[in-house]
Structure 1
């Protein structure tokens, strides 16, 4: 009698294990179909569900790990093809307009050069108070408020005002300095896009309007942006968005390649351990 009970229990366990493996196998097959159809997220969700629903389906879970690696590899390889295509498109756009800008880079002191509108090169703007715009090769845009006059105003911020009274104002500059050249007082304050109180975006939005610039410091000073300066901002702003996109795509390509390398190593070690 005792033997019959033991036999019955073993039979139940075997049938139970077979039933678990069968159900888990159905999930795995559904995941494989989703993978072959290019539904990578669905495939990964189905594979993950096997571990949760059928933790004792060891053989199927092991097969699921292998399928997950295939999914991740193909997903990254397809992503890489898409990113390469996007990069080529953006690079062509950049090549088509880069000659419209002046490129400045001091090879001795700078690792990254800057692009600016030709109308705003220093040689053409001596003894003038104005807002100067530039973007580096990574797409990081910045603005420099330049003041030239007979006395210091000790400015550390600027406020730009549109004809309808709307305005934007920078916070205090984190990088400003003053000097004197042949009796002329020169002050400069730098502001990065994103840390400029939305001033550059405001100017770009109002590039077709007369914009007043108030220099904020110990002494009041105001000027009006010239049409050339407003156009310089609009051009550099557009270039910054393009270069920023190229930088982001290159970053994503690098990450995709690292993931592909990592998955291939995992697949290789699995093959080695299995053989």
Structure 2
């Protein structure tokens, strides 16, 4: 009697395990169906996330895992094709804006220079005769703000503040290529150039508060302050807009190139050609 009872209990346990296994496989199948549905509805990132998790959730659902991994390459391809189309649309939208704002600038490039610079027409004249800020945008979209001080002061940072105490200040600026000192027409000039390395939010701050009174403080061995005229504020704000548009367009072009390279890699992999995808093009996880 006792043996029969033990056998009955063991049978119930086995049936429970089988039932549980079937239930897990059923859930894995439903999970795979959800992945297909996400893929078919263009929700590629969500589909990829589910594919990456199916092996963890259902480690013994071998067929479902195999099917999901096989689908993964097609989801990636579709995701990259969508990204290429999106990039093309946005690039087309950005270009007229860039062309329009470039009309506010003068383009300069000397023979010995590696790149040209877009200078706001309103401040593109000769050497200034007062302390000021001026700006420009390089061919690659990077922006700079430079302070011009006339006199003997040595400064290495630029601070701009509003009347109510809000401010932005560059990091310390030192070294050849960023600090220029010279004499011109009997006056001593000091020009300190803040690039994206030193900017520390200065350009964005001036852009955000271009309609407010702003005070510039040049800090160094001595301190000099002056009001920033509207013409300079607008020139810097225009430079900031041009830089942002150019950088965004360049970022889109880079994203498109990477997507195209990944598709090329996936095609080669599908055709069993041993191609190694550069780490810089691999999708971040």
Q: Shorter-chain TM-score category? A: 0.7 to 0.9
The question of whether the paired residues in 2 share the 8 Å contact of 1:142 and 1:191 is answered with yes
Matched, 1:128 2:106: no
Aligned equivalent of 2:149, options 135, 141, 147: 147
Could you say what secondary structure the match of 1:210 adopts? coil
**Deviation of the 1:184 alpha carbon:** 1.6
Could you say what secondary structure the match of 1:156 adopts? strand
Where structure 1 has 5 or more consecutive residues not aligned to the other structure, the ranges are 1-11, 271-275
**Deviation of the 1:223 alpha carbon:** 2.9
Give the match for residue 169 of structure 1: 169
Spell out, residue by residue over 1:70-106, the C-alpha distance to the aligned partner (whole angstroms, 9 max, x if none).
1110111011101110111011211222122111223
**Deviation of the 1:60 alpha carbon:** 4.5
Matches of 2:235 and 2:248, distance apart in 1? 20
Matches of 2:110 and 2:266, distance apart in 1? 41
Matches of 2:51 and 2:171, distance apart in 1? 51
The question of whether the paired residues in 1 share the 8 Å contact of 2:141 and 2:246 is answered with yes
Give the match for residue 138 of structure 1: 140
The question of whether the paired residues in 2 share the 8 Å contact of 1:20 and 1:56 is answered with no
Aligned equivalent of 1:70, options 70, 74, 80: 74
Matches of 1:162 and 1:190, distance apart in 2? 22
The question of whether the paired residues in 2 share the 8 Å contact of 1:104 and 1:115 is answered with yes
Could you say what secondary structure the match of 1:269 adopts? coil
Spell out, residue by residue over 1:24-53, the C-alpha distance to the aligned partner (whole angstroms, 9 max, x if none).
555444432332222323433443344335
Aligned equivalent of 2:105, options 96, 101, 110: 101
TM-score normalised by the chain length of structure 1:
0.78
Give the direction of change, closer, same or farther, for the CA distance of 1:132–1:61 in structure 2 (3 Å limit): same
Q: For structure 1, which segment, 189-198 or 48-57, has the greater mean C-alpha deviation from structure 2 after superposition?
A: 48-57
Give the match for residue 34 of structure 1: 38
The question of whether the paired residues in 1 share the 8 Å contact of 2:116 and 2:139 is answered with yes
Give the match for residue 5 of structure 2: none
Spell out, residue by residue over 1:104-128, the C-alpha distance to the aligned partner (whole angstroms, 9 max, x if none).
2234322x322121121142x4333
Give the direction of change, closer, same or farther, for the CA distance of 1:30–1:208 in structure 2 (3 Å limit): closer
Could you say what secondary structure the match of 2:213 adopts? coil
Q: How many residues align?
A: 252
The question of whether the paired residues in 1 share the 8 Å contact of 2:150 and 2:190 is answered with yes
The question of whether the paired residues in 2 share the 8 Å contact of 1:193 and 1:200 is answered with no
Give the match for residue 224 of structure 1: 227
Give the match for residue 7 of structure 1: none
Give the match for residue 87 of structure 2: 83
**Deviation of the 1:203 alpha carbon:** 2.4
Spell out, residue by residue over 1:136-159, the C-alpha distance to the aligned partner (whole angstroms, 9 max, x if none).
23322211111123xx11121233
The question of whether the paired residues in 1 share the 8 Å contact of 2:172 and 2:198 is answered with no
Matches of 2:131 and 2:215, distance apart in 1? 12
Matches of 2:194 and 2:144, distance apart in 1? 6
Aligned equivalent of 1:204, options 203, 207, 211: 207
RMSD of aligned alpha carbons: 2.9
